[in-house]
């Protein structure tokens, strides 16, 4: 069978990993693909930058036209980050008649609709397994393996950096700042980890999963999100006392009112699969109406897990499966049926609330009263003595209520005289 010629754009961590797989495991990949995948061209922005992989002389250049003009290259792995110039380059690659495999979730979250429409016009395909959850093949599982199902919910840990930080805080009692510094030292967090720890990265990935599973067109910037950057070790201890562990959970849940989408630190019951996901691992728990609950976990980032996903897509492109999937699913198509996104204020759930209050009589009664005004009833309470004299932390687990009711109750509690510090609220997933 004829070879499939592949080009890479970007030779950072993931690009180097893909190049290594293509060169060092050529025979094995040929066996799995029924043909050879030949690395023909690599285009980078800076030839002088040190690289993680040794490539034959003449393979690497800074000239995109060497790829777009090469009639014998069929597939391009677009492995640079960021939105521009990745978007412009992707359009040029499609227009030159080549298919694209990409790991760039920011690009898809921002311009998926445009890129997929252009690919369809040109009869080209785009595959993006590596864009979400690294080594977990969640894109293929949602778009193919579970295709007999109406997906009902997705609960996922999609940011490995945050999960690593949470695991370190919990296991070693490290502060948030120390855990971040540790993650940076080990390469799990970037110098500026904002997008990872504030929930933005998880929201971008959730937007992509929600589109695949529900046909929802969600602007990721409008997905309600909270990060782990405001978490306190005290909350981890209280969570444990209540039988939970805190995870940055990305949720897509189909209800009669539409699709709920949100990302936030959430109390997850100990002993359940999501609670046991440690370190830099990601996980996705999917409920389908036929299959029931299916759970996936694996490394969410890193050179070789992501390269594994990119190369699986390259093989799918080479054998023709990716083109079929792309044509069949009409992803990001303007004509696809749309699912309305629920108003976040109406999203239901149980909540963990923590207040710092003056150690004086009737405080609990007053807070319970303010919660009660919003029809929020209390499931359990923890009150321990605190180190700061005269101030006690008060932890409340609620019964089922809504985001809106909790927000209104907390606004009222903000105004009481006995309050001594900021309140904490987290969703609870049972």
Which residues would be at the binding site for a second copy (CB under 8 A)? 17, 21, 25, 28-29, 31-34, 129, 135-137, 140-141, 144-150, 271-273, 276, 288-299, 302, 304-305, 307-312, 315-316, 319-321, 324-325, 327-330, 337
Task: Tell me the closest approach of the beta carbon of residue 317 to a second copy, in angstroms.
Answer: 11
For residue 103, CA distances in Å to 159, 212, 390 come to 15, 16, 53
Q: Which is nearer to a second copy, 218 or 311 (CB)?
A: 311
Minimum CB distance to a second copy smaller for 168 or for 200: 168
Name, in order, each residue with C-beta under 8 angstroms of 313's C-beta and a sequence gap of 6 or more.
77, 101, 127, 128, 129, 130, 322
Catalytic residues: 205
CB nearer to a second copy: give 295 or 418: 295
The rounded distance, in Å, linking the Cα atoms of 127 and 135 is 15
As measured in angstroms, the least distance from the Cβ of 328 to a second copy is: 4
Please say which residue, 30 or 197, places its beta carbon nearer to a second copy.
Answer: 30
How many other C-beta atoms lie within 10 A of the C-beta of residue 420? 15
Angle between helices 105-122 and 86-95 (to 10 degrees): 20
Alpha helices in 124-186 (DSSP H): 138-140, 160-172, 176-185
DSSP one-letter string for 348-408: EEEEEEEEEEES-TTHHHHHHHHHHTTTPPEEEEEE---SSTTEEEEEEEE-SEEHHHHHH
Least distance to a second copy, CB of residue 185, Å:
21
Contact present, 426 and 264 (Cβ < 8 Å): yes
Closer to a second copy by Cβ: residue 146 or 397: 146
Among 406, 397, 363, 400, smallest CA distance to 378 is for 397
Measure CA of the first residue to CA of the last residue in the chain; give whole Å: 52
């Amino acid at each position: 069978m004829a070879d499939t010629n592949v080009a890479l754009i970007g030779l950072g961590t993931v690009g180097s990993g893909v190049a290594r797989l293509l060169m060092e495991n050529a025979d094995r990949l040929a066996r799995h693909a029924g043909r050879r995948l030949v690395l023909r061209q690599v285009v980078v922005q800076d030839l002088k930058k040190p690289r993680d992989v040794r490539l034959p002389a003449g393979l690497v250049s800074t000239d995109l036209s060497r790829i777009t003009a090469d009639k014998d290259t069929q597939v391009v792995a677009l492995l640079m980050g960021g939105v521009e110039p990745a978007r412009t380059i992707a359009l040029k690659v499609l227009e030159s008649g080549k298919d694209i495999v990409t790991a760039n979730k920011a690009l898809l979250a921002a311009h998926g609709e445009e890129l997929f429409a252009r690919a369809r016009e040109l009869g080209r395909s785009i595959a993006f397994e590596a864009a979400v959850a690294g080594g977990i093949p969640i894109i293929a599982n949602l778009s193919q393996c579970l295709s007999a199902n109406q997906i009902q919910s997705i609960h996922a840990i999609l940011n490995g950096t945050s999960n690593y930080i949470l695991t370190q805080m919990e296991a070693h009692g490290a502060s948030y700042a120390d855990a971040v510094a540790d993650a940076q030292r080990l390469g799990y967090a970037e110098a500026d980890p904002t997008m990872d720890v504030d929930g933005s990265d998880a929201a971008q990935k959730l937007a992509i999963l929600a589109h695949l599973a529900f046909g929802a067109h969600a602007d990721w910037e409008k997905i309600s999100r909270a990060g782990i950057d405001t978490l306190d070790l005290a909350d981890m201890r209280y969570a444990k006392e209540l039988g939970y562990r805190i995870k940055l959970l990305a949720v897509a849940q189909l209800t009669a009112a539409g699709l709920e989408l949100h990302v936030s630190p959430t109390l997850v019951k100990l002993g359940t699969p999501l609670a046991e996901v440690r370190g830099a691992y990601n996980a996705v728990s999917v409920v389908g109406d036929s299959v029931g609950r299916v759970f996936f976990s694996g490394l969410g980032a890193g050179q070789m897990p992501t390269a594994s996903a990119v190369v699986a897509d390259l093989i799918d492109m080479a054998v023709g499966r990716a083109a079929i999937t792309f044509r069949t699913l009409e992803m990001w198509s303007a004509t696809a049926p749309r699912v309305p996104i629920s108003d976040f204020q109406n999203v239901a759930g149980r909540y963990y609330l923590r207040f710092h209050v003056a150690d004086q009589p009737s405080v609990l009664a007053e807070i319970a009263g303010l919660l009660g005004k919003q029809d929020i009833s209390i499931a359990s309470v923890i009150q321990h003595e605190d180190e700061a004299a005269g101030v006690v932390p008060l932890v409340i687990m609620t019964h089922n209520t809504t985001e809106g009711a909790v927000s209104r109750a907390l606004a009222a509690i903000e105004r009481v005289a006995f309050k001594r510090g900021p309140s904490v609220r987290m969703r609870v997933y049972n």
